[in-house]
Every structure is written in structure tokens, then in C-alpha cells.
Amino acid sequence: MQKGHFSFSDKIKVTTKNDELEGIFIPSQTQDKITLKLDSGYNLSIKKSDIKSIKLIEKRKKEKKVKTKIKYNKSLPTITILHTGGTISSKVSYDTGAVAAQFSPLEILEKFPELKNIVNIRSELISNILSENIRFHNYNIISKAIEKELKHNIKGIIVAHGTDTLHYTSAALAFILENINIPVILVGAQRSSDRPSTDATQNLIHAARFIKETDFKGVAICSHASPNDTSSIILPACKTRKLHTSRRDAFQPINASPIATIDEKITFLTKQHEPEKEFKLKPIKEHLKIGILKTHPNLYAKEIENYKNFGALIIEGTGLGHAPIEKIDQKSSENTKILDAIKKLAKKIPVIMTSQCLFGTVNMNVYSTGRKLLEVGVLNNNSDISTETAFIKAAWLLSNHKNEFYSLWNKNLRGELNERILLNHYLDVMGGN
């Protein structure tokens, strides 16, 4: 191995026992490995024991920063971009070795120059976390930042967000921002902006166009319509889910149609409702405990009992909304204990049934297991709300309408429930490329 000190941003060639790799040197957190940032944008850790040699290819020069003023275009509307973290608002800093948030208006326009012909930009970094680390208090921080921006003369707001829990956040904002009278569009990126195949550019530009060119009011998601850079879709805040780990069209509507499509023009696919009352901010209590339990073969009553100190429990059941609660033979006696545990829990807290099936409606009237669950107090019969949105709705109701929880649960408050599901609500997404 070539000896010497390599600095972050140096381009090096690493020869291992089986391969030759070129990339940007990144200091590793562990002593026994080095990390390369490959041309694909991915980071690769290599054990030092596997390395035969390292060769310096190029020392990276520090970029000189030139201060530039942004010209305000009076003919264009102004939008605010709020950054919460995620790949869409970050890039590698070759001076520090860190992934740095790029959130000032100038940095955004340098990164996405097409925006300057669409909108004027206000921008603020309100957090910089991976979306899997989000907690209820983060929803409140985002919501309060949105409320603050309403005091300015803006056409709408884009929330840049990590993709992993973006659909939880969209549902949370839809509930918290009651009667919001401007568009709040959540945008993420499956692939980082320093990769040629990034989806960040199109998602952000199409979100800005949607805000500029329409009178939409409310919370929604903007995402790729297909793996190709041909069009985007605007998705309902409470009826969307991330369905793929890496595809650029990972977000798709569940039991719903997209709100609109965006290509050369914007086409609305569903009718939008105007806010009927004055805007109110209704946060979620930060210390609430809401559980999600996925039923499975060989379930134990103890798994239900673990939620006795929670505020509510979402049970993601099988099929039409079932759980293993019937004794079939001597070896399935645990199932009767499960029913008893659910009955005891439902007397203390709301217990809500959803389905592992992404599409369709919970119907606990069809089979004996479902009817028994209804008899012991399980909620959510004849509902198509998703597990994730049910989780958010339960937290929001307990925070703002605790005494009305049971009367409000089956009411459609934010487009989270359908009166009827259309055939193409399933075929549209499953027929995609």
C-alpha cells in the first residue's frame, strides 16, 4: 500500500485482491477501513486488509466562492423552500468532508438554475436530519415554520424532506395545518443531487411549477410519475405510500388517484376542495405513544400487552382486518389469549384495525374473526385508511379532540377515507412501468 496522508477530496485508485476502484477519498470512522465516494454517487467502505495498493490520482483544489446577489424578479411569484434534511438539500462538501446542507437561495439557484425563471425563492433550514429519525416534535417545528411563512407574500411552500418517512410527514402536516390556504408541497429525492440520475431536479422544478401555475390549496407530495424524467405526479397527502426502496417513482397513491400530472402542461385528475374555515395550527402532543403492531403467524398475547401504557394501538391485520384469535386445536390456545388481551386493551385505549393489504377496505363483518374483534371494541370497520395515516390521525385526534376521538375516527377529515374505491385506484399503480 502506498504510504502517505490523503485528504478528503483527493481522487485515488485503490487496488484490492479482486478489483481496482477509483473515487474520492473520505475519512472513515473506523480504523480498519477506508471509504471511497464512487462516480455513481455511492460510498463504498473497503477493509484495509484487502488493499494491495493505493495511488494518488489527483489532489482536489479548493473551490473559490464568489459572492453573488440574487436579482428579484417582480413578474414572478415568490415561494419558500423549507429544508428538513434528506438528499434533496444536501451535497458533499469537498473542503470539509461532510455532507453539507445547501439551503440558501443562492445555493439553491446554483444547484437548480432553472428555478430562477419560474419563481423567486425564500429559503430556510429548519432541521437537518435523516427522515427515519423524525419524531412528533419535528412535525410541530415544520408546521410552525410554515405558519410563520404565511405572514409573507408567498404563493406557496415546498418542504424538502427525506423520502423514508415523507408520507408520514405529509399526513401529519395535512392534519396539523387545518384549512391551510396555500399549497404546501413535500419533495424528496431517491438519488442524491451529485448523481447523473438524480430525481431531485425534476421533483423540485415541477413542484415550483405546480405552485406557480395552479390555485391548489392544501398539502400534497410531488414525485416522479415513472422511472424516466418525463413527468411528475402530485399525490394526496394522506393516501400515498413509498412502495420501492430506490426507484424514482417510489411514491404512489393508495386507494386514490394522483391529484395532477405535470409534463409540458399541468392536468388535474381529481377535484379539489377549497378550505371552508379559517386556518388553524393544531400540533401533535410530542410525548404521545402510538403503537403499530403487525399481526403474523405465531403471535403471542404478550405482544398486545406491551402496549398497555400507550395512547392508541394500530393493529395491521391480515386480509379484511383479521388477527389470530380463534383456537383451532390444543396447540393454538394462545390465540384465545390474544383475543382477551385485545379486549382488555380496547377498554383502555383506542385499538384500530388496518390491513397488511395496501389496497382495499377493512371489513370485519365478513368472517367470524372480524366479528369477534368488533365485539371486543376494535375500531376502523369499513375503512380504507392506511396504517401510516391511521397512526398520524390517532396521534392528532388524541392531541386535539381526545373527548371526541371515537365519534371523529370514522369521519373523513383530510381526505384519508374514501366512501368508495374505484377499480383504477388499484390498476393505475400496478400498471406502472
Q: Which fold has domain 11-58?
A: SH3 type barrels. (2.30.30)
DSSP-derived 3-state class of residue 99? strand
Query: Within a 10 A sphere around the Cβ of 405, how many other Cβ atoms?
Result: 18
In whole angstroms, what separates CA 302 from the centre of its chain? 31
Q: How far apart are CA 382 and CA 362, in angstroms?
A: 5
Residues 6+ apart with CB under 8 A from 184: 146, 156, 157, 159, 173, 177, 218, 219, 220
Instruction: Record the cell numbers describing residue 122, joined without a space.
Output: 425564500
Q: How far apart are CA 167 and CA 237, in angstroms?
A: 7
Q: Do domains 78-281 and 290-408 have the same CATH topology?
A: yes
Burial class (CB in 10 A: 0-12, 13-18, 19+), 31: exposed
**Residue 301 phi, psi dihedral angles, 5° rounding:** -60, -35
The single-letter DSSP state of residue 234 is E
**Residue 116 phi, psi dihedral angles, 5° rounding:** -65, -20
End-to-end Cα, the chain, rounded Å: 46
Instruction: Record the cell numbers describing residue 97, joined without a space.
Output: 468532508
Q: Specify whether the CB–CB gap between 321 and 354 falls below 8 A.
A: yes
In whole angstroms, what separates CA 58 from the centre of its chain? 39
* Residue closest to 158 by CA, chosen among 221, 81, 84: 81
- What pLDDT score was predicted for residue 237? 97
- Pairing of β 20-26 and β 33-37: antiparallel
- What pLDDT score was predicted for residue 125? 85
- What pLDDT score was predicted for residue 4? 54
Residues 6+ apart with CB under 8 A from 418: 255, 256, 361, 384, 412, 425
In whole angstroms, what separates CA 225 from the centre of its chain? 16
Query: Within a 10 A sphere around the Cβ of 312, how many other Cβ atoms?
Result: 25
Q: Specify whether the CB–CB gap between 408 and 399 falls below 8 A.
A: no
Catalytic residues: 87, 163-164, 242
Sign of the CA dihedral with 322 first, then 323, 324, and 326 last:
negative
- What pLDDT score was predicted for residue 207? 96
CATH 3.40.50.1170 assigned to domain 78-281? The reply is yes
- What pLDDT score was predicted for residue 90? 54
Q: Specify whether the CB–CB gap between 118 and 109 falls below 8 A.
A: no
Q: Specify whether the CB–CB gap between 140 and 283 falls below 8 A.
A: yes
Query: Within a 10 A sphere around the Cβ of 53, how many other Cβ atoms?
Result: 11
Instruction: Record the cell numbers describing residue 234, joined without a space.
Output: 402530485
Sign of the CA dihedral with 35 first, then 187, 357, and 376 last:
positive
- In the chain (433 residues long), the average pLDDT of successive 10-residue segments reads 63 88 75 77 78 86 61 92 73 49 65 87 85 94 97 95 94 98 93 64 93 97 91 96 92 94 95 86 98 98 98 98 95 97 98 96 96 98 97 98 97 92 67 45
The full set of domain ranges for the chain reads 11-58, 78-281, 290-408
- What pLDDT score was predicted for residue 189? 83
The single-letter DSSP state of residue 334 is H
Determine the CATH number of domain 290-408: 3.40.50.40
Q: How far apart are CA 157 and CA 331, in angstroms?
A: 57
Sign of the CA dihedral with 296 first, then 302, 305, and 309 last:
negative
Q: Specify whether the CB–CB gap between 62 and 95 falls below 8 A.
A: yes
Q: Specify whether the CB–CB gap between 344 and 392 falls below 8 A.
A: no
The single-letter DSSP state of residue 70 is P
Report in angstroms the alpha-carbon separations of 32 from 8, 48, 52, 55, 411: 17, 6, 14, 18, 57
- 181-194 burial, b at 16+ Cβ within 10 Å, e below that, comes to ebbbbbbbbbbbbb
- What pLDDT score was predicted for residue 30? 65
- Which residues, in sequence order, are bridge partners of residue 294? 316
